[in-house]
Every structure is written in C-alpha cells, then in structure tokens.
Chain A
Amino acid sequence: MIRRLFDIIANNAVPAVFIIISAFAIPLSGYSASYLIQELLTRIGRNSFLILSLLIPIMAGMGLNFGMVLGAMAGQIGLLFICDWGIVGIPGIVLACLIGTPIAIILGIFCGHVLNRAKGREMVTSYILGFFINGVYQMVVLYLMGWIIPITNPALLLSRGYGVRNAVSLLGIRGILDNLIPTVITGTQGAGQFFNAQGGNPFILLQIPLIDGSIRIPLATLIVIALFCVFIIWFRKTKLGQDMRAIGQNQAVSDSAGIPVNRTRIIAIVISTVLACYGQIIYLQNMGTLNTYNSHDQAGMFSIAALLIGGASVSRASIANVFLGVILFHLMFIVAPVAGKNLIGDAQIGEYFRVFVSYGIIAIALVLHAWKRNREREAARRSLRGNKGGE
C-alpha cells in the first residue's frame, strides 16, 4: 500500500509540485480569473502544436526530440520567403508551410540518420545537432539570403545588401489563424463594452454570467490542434504507429519480428520535424514578429520543459500531458513575476524563481527517469533470481 502510494507520488511528482506552486502564486499575483483564462487560451493555441510534435519520437523510443529546432528553422525560412514576396493571410501561412515542408523533410532525414548512429544517446545527440544546424541556418540567412538566394524586399535585408535583419515583422499574417473564426465569451456586463470597443460583431458570442469582462478564443487554432490530436490517436492505431510502439518497447525484438527499425525511426523523426515546422509557423503567426536568429533557439527547450511539467517522461507521454504541461508551465510564466513583485517587491526575483523551477524541472524529470529505470532493472533482476527480499 505504502509502496503503491509512493509510486503514484513518484509518477506525478512534477505536476503536483507545479500545481502547489501555482496555487500559492495565483492569489499573490492578484490577476482576475478572466485575465488568466485569456492568457492561458492564447498560450495553449500558440504552443500546443509544437509540444504535440514531440509525442511521436517518444512513442518510437527516441526520447525527447531536441532536434525539433530543425523543423522550427524550416518554418522560419518559409516565413521569410512569404514576407519577401508579400503573401498575406491564410494563403501566406499555407505557403510558408508548403515551403517549409521539403526543408523539414530533408533535415528530418538527416537527423534520423545521425540518431540511428547514436542509439541510446538520442537526446544529447539531437541537442548538439540542433546547434550544428543552427550554424548552417545562420550561414544561409546571414550570408546567402540576398546574395545567392534572391530576397528583394529592402525591409528584410540588412543595410549592407545581403543577410536578413534580426527582427522581421509578420504583420501580414499576425493573428490570422487565431482570428479566423472570431469567438468571444463575455459576461452579461462585459458584452456592451466589448461591442463598443470592437465596432463589430464577432462570429460566435457566448455569454456566461460568471465571467468578468470578455475572453477571446483562438477557435481556428484550437480546431487545428484538435485535428492534430485526432491524427495522433489515429496514427497510434496504424501499422506504422504499432511498429513505432514496438520499437519503443524493444528494438532487438522488433528487429527480429521483421520491423525495419532504422527506417521507422527515421520516419518518426521526419514526422516530428515537419510538425515542428508547422508548430513554429503557428507560434510565430500568434507572436507577429520573427526574431530571425533566436526564435527557434528556445522552441525545443520550452516545449520539452512544458511536456515534462505535464507529467511526461523520456519514455512515456500522452496528449493529456501536453495540455496539462502547457497550462502549468505558462501559468508560471504569467503569475511568477507579479507574484514575486507582490511578495518581495521585485518582479525579477519572481522571474528568476520561475526560470530556476521551470528548467530545474527538466533536470529533476531526467534524474527521476534514470532513477526509476534503475529501480525497475533492479526489480527485474530480483524477480529473475526469485528472491523478493533481495538477500
């Protein structure tokens, strides 16, 4: 009984810690419920697609795909081209995806081949591979664009005539997907104010008396994310999905059963990279600004931190972990600085605390995973000896 309780706590330690911290920080921040819900909905729409792209490599036993930054870079290249050509709106987003897809596929194949040569050390390899490809990306964007690759928009180019500026405005596609189906929830009192401010009616309006003010819902983005979730559920049931799960359980047995292990692992990474490319495009259309040399840097780290905070591990992750993770991780983002300011008088302290806890959690999750794996190995060894007491 105690052992079972200990197992439950050990399995859910990370989300539990975050729920407790949030429970203390939310009242300290002084934010209203409608503000927090609005912020969380925006951030769920912005980040969930990126985090969901991590699930397939975990299913294939390749751990957390730090190489997703490769897909993010591909998405950014697509966005740079549509900015240069002046393509706006939904066609702009789709065209960016279309341009980014072949780049992401090529990078994914490359990443898959490298990871097949580093079996058992996929996470650190993909992390370093991200740095390597970042160098190539910077060379392309900083030296080749505007020189060999034609970029004609002077607003994109550096004053020297080649290389892309550090900050690129995505005004043409900003919030396009989020506002495609304008949906608002208002309280009965907030409705009039909302209409006065907007000067027009949203497509869907729900009135819930408990809500103070109005909450905008990025419905189209949430629909895209829901479709992606359905895709993952369906994909798990396909032959390829089953192969990936088998490989995730045991590579040697899968190989003996006739599953092409290396090929399947490459496909898993390619799918993850392509989806990360789309995820980065969705993320940046919400932000409205592309930080050419840094936007992709944190994509992997933030997504992995959120997934781990949601209770996932290196070998096991579900859709529920993604949504719990993105809520808890971003709740900390919203409330920690203000809670720190209200508690100590300095917002920076709260921010330091958030950074310390959020990234410390990655280390804790990895240590917990290693510890649990060792414990399971020890238990398996004991059961083989037929000696429960370990004597």
Chain B
Amino acid sequence: MSAIFNEYCEILTEFLAQWGISLELGLLIAALILWLLLYIGRGLAFFRFLMRWYQRLIILAGLIALGFWLFYIGREHKIYLDNKAMNDYKPFEQVNVSINGGTSAELMARDRDLRKVVGPEFELKAEVLDDNGEIVSTVTKTINLGFSKDIMINLPVLVGGSGDFIVPAPR
C-alpha cells in the first residue's frame, strides 16, 4: 500500500516537474481550479444541478480522505525486536530497547521480543550493554512505517549503522 502510494506520488511529482511545479504547488493549483469551477457554477443556473454533484463529490472525497487519514494514524503495528546475527553483524550480549519512551525490553543474544505501537511513526532507543552491565553505545532512531503493518527490526544491523535493519515480520 505504502509502496503504491509512494510510487504514485513520484509519478505525479515527475509529471509536474515538466513545468517546474512542485507537488505541493500542484495540489494548491488543483484546489484553486476546483474552487473557481465551484464559484462559476454558483452564478449560473445551468450549473446548479452540476454544483450539487460537485458538493457531494467534494464531501465524498473529504470522507474518503478522512478514512485514509484515520487508517494512517490509528493503525496498530507489531514491532518484532530481533537480536540475532544478520549480514555479518553479530548479536549483542544484551541490548535494552524502548519504544516511544515506554518500558524497555531486555534482549539477550538470539532473543526476540514484540512491542505494539499505534500510528505511523515511533522512536526507538537501543542501549547496548557489555558483560558488566555498562552501557557501551546508545542509538536513537525515528522510524516511519507509513501504510505497512508489521515489521521486524534487526538490532545488530540497526546499531551497526546499516540501513537494511527492517526485515519482513514473521507470519
């Protein structure tokens, strides 16, 4: 879903770029044209019937947009936290992970835990501990899930600095 939306936005951006118009400006111009059509339609008896349909279409479009927005902000995501080896990154002895400042999950080597977040964006804080329980390094990352549902985060890859730390969630 997210990929389709992003792709659609990219296509639209490319299309508008031919005339040197940004996506935001394009949407603004579209809204202005629509308003102008409505304004002209109001004055002419011929457009009255059409006007009602415009209004209904705008309300319908608004409701659909509201639905998408609610879907976007209200979705609960399962976040699997994975402390396992991946792509030459070795698991940590212990790593404490907290999401959005909540209670932290203590993951030993080869552990996996589950947390749930609501909304498209969350802040993840990973603290890597050594054998004495001292914090060696701390990584804070803001992750945007967009329209995707569940993900798995490989912690060794995340702390290692590689960008491929998000892997598909297990079924």
Contacts and interface: CB of A to CB of B under 8 A. Distances in A.
Contacts of B66: 94, 98
A86 B70 contact: no
Contacts of B63: 98
Nearest to B66: A98
Interface string B104-126: 00000000000000100000000
A326 to B, nearest CB: 30
A85 B72 CA distance: 10
Interface string B87-99: 0000000000000
> Interface residues of A: mostly helix, strand, loop or mixed?
helix
Nearest to A94: B70
Interface in B38-89: 63, 66-67, 70-71, 73-77
B76 A86 contact: yes
The 5 residue pairs across chains A and B that have the minimum distance between CB atoms:
A91-B74, A91-B70, A87-B74, A95-B70, A86-B76
Contacts of A94: 66, 70
A97 B71 CA distance: 13
Contact of B75 (A86, A90, A99): A86
B76 A172 contact: yes
Interface residues of A, number: 13
A86 B149 contact: yes
A91 B72 CA distance: 9
B67 A89 contact: no
A88 B118 CA distance: 8
Interface in A84-129: 85-92, 94-95, 98-99
A91 B76 contact: no
28 contacts: A86-B75, A86-B76, A87-B71, A87-B74, A87-B75, A87-B76, A88-B74, A88-B75, A88-B118, A89-B74, A89-B118, A90-B74, A91-B70, A91-B71, A91-B73, A91-B74, A92-B70, A92-B74, A94-B66, A94-B70, A95-B70, A95-B71, A95-B74, A98-B63, A98-B66, A98-B70, A99-B67, A172-B76
Contacts of A86: 75-77, 149
Interface string A65-95: 0000000000000000000011111111011
Contacts of B73: 91
A85 B70 contact: no
B76 A95 contact: no
Contacts of A89: 74, 118
Contact of B76 (A88, A90, A99): A88
Nearest to A91: B74
Contacts of B71: 85, 87, 91, 95
A88 B152 CA distance: 20
Interface in B127-159: 149
A10 B35 CA distance: 60
Nearest to B60: A102
A183 to B, nearest CB: 23
Interface in A156-186: 172
Contacts of B149: 86
Contacts of A99: 67
B61 to A, nearest CB: 13
Given A87-B70, A89-B74, A98-B63, 20 more contacts: A85-B71, A86-B75, A86-B76, A86-B77, A87-B74, A87-B75, A87-B76, A88-B74, A88-B76, A91-B70, A91-B71, A91-B73, A91-B74, A92-B70, A94-B66, A94-B70, A95-B71, A98-B67, A98-B70, A99-B67
A92 B118 CA distance: 11
